Structure 1
Amino acid sequence: MAIATITLVFASGLSLYTQIKTYRKELTDDVAMLAELVSKNAAEDLANEDEPAANAHLASLKAAKIILNVHLYRQDELNNLSYFSSYNQAGQTPVESRPQSVSKLLQPRITDDIIEVARPIIYRQQIVGYLYLRASAANFNQLVGKAILISLTVMFIMMIVSFLLALRLQQVITGPIEYLADFLQRTSRQRDYSSRAEVCNVRELGILSEAVNVMLSRIQEYVQKQQAAEDQHKKLNSSLEDMVNQRTLALKDANQELIQTLEKLHQFQRQIVQNEKMASLGDMVAGVAHEVNTPIGLGVTASTMMLDRLKVIQDQFENKTLKASTMTRFLSESQENLNIIYRNLNRAAELISSFKQVAVDQSSENNRTFCFAQLVNEILLSLRPRLKNLDHKINVECDPTLSVETKAGPINQILINLIMNSIIHGFEGVEEGEITIIAEMMSPTKLKLIYRDNGRGIPGDIRKRIFDPFVTTKRGQGGSGLGMHLVYNLVTQALNGTIALSSEEGNGVEFIIVFPVVSSISEKA
């Protein structure tokens, strides 16, 4: 309010001063112009001492309502001024003749409601006398008063508006703060960390509310974890043997599920071999099976060792020869074996889950909603058996929160073919190659996928025919020439998109794939 008041006073004062100055200048200019006109009309009459003619000319000034009095003074050879003639507006009291003050009024002077001005009367380039003109400044004073009144009225209204806006702004700011303070006090008293504060429309207060919600969420997670840890600790202390049996049964179930999953994996392998478009899964199955075999073998070894140790403990327990040190060592070894079993089974489950998703995607032509970065990671995980013995680097630049609804199978096959082409053809003779995969939304319903490597590039004669069938640089060495043709068909037919190639021999390749999606969601937006 203080700033608004100072600004209004300064602006109103400056505007008022400018208006008064403008009104004063207009009045003085008008009066000075009238004085000049009257002096020119009276010059010849004054020079010829023709008083009747001068009176007749002065009488015509009655049309100028602003002029109150006019005096004409004649100058003799000794430069003395003497009264010659005058004009007084009807109803206006004549003013006293003061020839001695004429020289002081060459610049207009405003006093109260009167403006006075004097002008020399020149005839044939000689001063023959002086004109004294007295005009009304009442209109000027009215304009000044009106301007002051308007300025004060506007300033008063604006101050009221500023005051009301200040009150409203205070309510907008202090209201959410008071709500947030009450909410924190209530939450602290009740210890209900699951409640969340409402986010305010004011940006800074909204950030504060979100920060409070994040803090409450972390406190709630901490309390839940602490409670869960306490419950788990109580259960471990009360039923250790029961927990070991449960874990053993769970391990058997997990092994059975793993065996069933492996059987499904072999079934997928047989189906993939029969489908020419998905021939790349053949190599993938062997790699995944080899990768899964290692953690399963370690898990079986650890579980067998644990069963042996459990039998020894059970015999000692039944014979009443069980010692505390033996039990302690058994617990330590059991925990270590269970950790080994859990880590290896988790690793095997992760590999199998990724491979299952890749297999489902490649055999499905239906739309589904998926996280694009997760899809790429699943593809790379399924190719890990082929990539782990190579020093090539694959960079993925994609918003981790980007989810789209489209066909995952064609995208899966496209990326696998492009990566395998880079490894087989682009990085031939290259020990450390680099592949970059970039995914970004061009619009809410259009995705752009950029694939580039820094390999050998594509020769010019092949680059023009790269999407034609049976075009390959490995003719007679196992290359069918159908990989890029399949990619082109998947992009243009399955995804209804476009693909463009940019490559120079020795400078790698770049594929730009643009295709529509049904919908997209990203937290970054």
Structure 2
Amino acid sequence: MINEVETFAELISTNAASGIVFNDNVTEEQNLQALSAAAFINNVHIYKLNPANELEFFASYNKTGQAPVRAMFGQTEKLATPTFGADALEYMMPVTLEGDRVGYTYIRASIDALNKLTLNTILITCSVLLLALMLSFLLTLRLQRSVTHPIEELVYLVQQISHQKEYSSRAKASSLKELDILGSAFNDMLATIQQHIERQELAEEEYRRLNLSLEEKVGQRTTALKEANKELIQTLEKLHQFQRQIVQNEKMASLGDMVAGVAHEVNTPIGLGVTASTMMLDRLTQLQKDFENKNLKASALAKFLKEGEENLNIIYRNLNRAAELISSFKQVAVDQTSENARAFAFKQLMDEILLSMRPKLKKLPHDIQLHCDPNLTIESKAGPINQIMINLIMNSVIHGFEFMEKGQIDIWVEMQGNNKLSIRYVDNGKGIPEHLCKRIFDPFVTTKRGQGGSGLGMHLVYNLVTQALNGSITVTSEEGHGVEFQILFPVRMLEHSDIAKSS
């Protein structure tokens, strides 16, 4: 639009130059009537310079139905460039003849067409945006369906299996990697359950078959048993003499093996469970062979029952320990815990924590000093405190005291007022680099990446302090000068009278 206005102004100025020189304004106004073909031009003024170098009105053009506008004598500099107003575009161009300025041309053009173009552009843009939003909504629904449909199928399969006990069903493969992994694990679990049920059915069938033939076998063995009765009585008399000693030795040996195994294989409890279950299968196979070969003795059956009980206890403890380790490793939100508060002496709790860590710390020359009033008794959640202190101590041992011959840990515990407990944990290790100190409580921050470090220990400590205990924790450290943790959380301090009432 600016280009068109400038072009018309130049044409009008060129035509008006001769009219101004010859002072023929009549002819010039007749020429200006040709502008009626340009619908967007509302008003045109031609001014001439008099001998006093002042502007005078020379000729004008007003579009039909358009009101005249006032003279623009003082706007030559302001309108030297096309200027948009509220409803029009105004422009003044000098009229020159052979290099001399003889006057000015003023054009006022309507911007209605421009406004309509702008409105159409806005409407088109809004329409395209609305269409894009509708397409995005439809695509979102389609994507949501592609994600939720496999989940709905898996949920339906789980419900069907839980009601009908049909363990031969299998989950279908999914295009989503995570759901496909979940489906594969679910299918493996179903296969394991189905195999277990089949083995159980076979065992029950074998048991029924043995019961049917038991009377016949008893009759066949009655004579042999009578002949061996005297020998068995003598053997049993000897066995009774050593029975207590043997049972006690087996208990002590089993307890020793279990303690040594847990201390040595604390990171691989599932392996112990597998070993114990394999041993049970071997003993069961041997027992079945002895039973089929008619060599089964009461002492062997008693020994099997005893060993079976011990091995099942080992399997349970190790699988439970494995579940706890996995839960501790994955636990990044402490609100999953539901431990209730209880009353305890803090120094006694710390002694129990250090005693439980003795297998890990006894081979290390590090010194741990607890500065705490032995009579300090509080009511709080002992479980989170236990896990916090274990994580802090192991963090110092693994990271802070690395390549150190002997490390020192000091733990100061005291009450602040009557309802807050302060724990100040200080070690003299190698400290934390500044770039890690700012992110020490973030998940997966570790200096042992690829060496067994998960980076969840301090994040778990932070969650336990802030969420389980409703407290706060801060860290201060310089590389090479150890680390200090300040923990503050609300507790209820108990007097001896309160402890007696609660007990």
The answer, yes or no, to whether TM exceeds 0.5 is: no
Please report the TM-score for the alignment, with normalisation by the length of structure 1. 0.39
Specify the structure having the higher radius of gyration (Cα).
1
Please report the TM-score for the alignment, with normalisation by the length of structure 2. 0.41
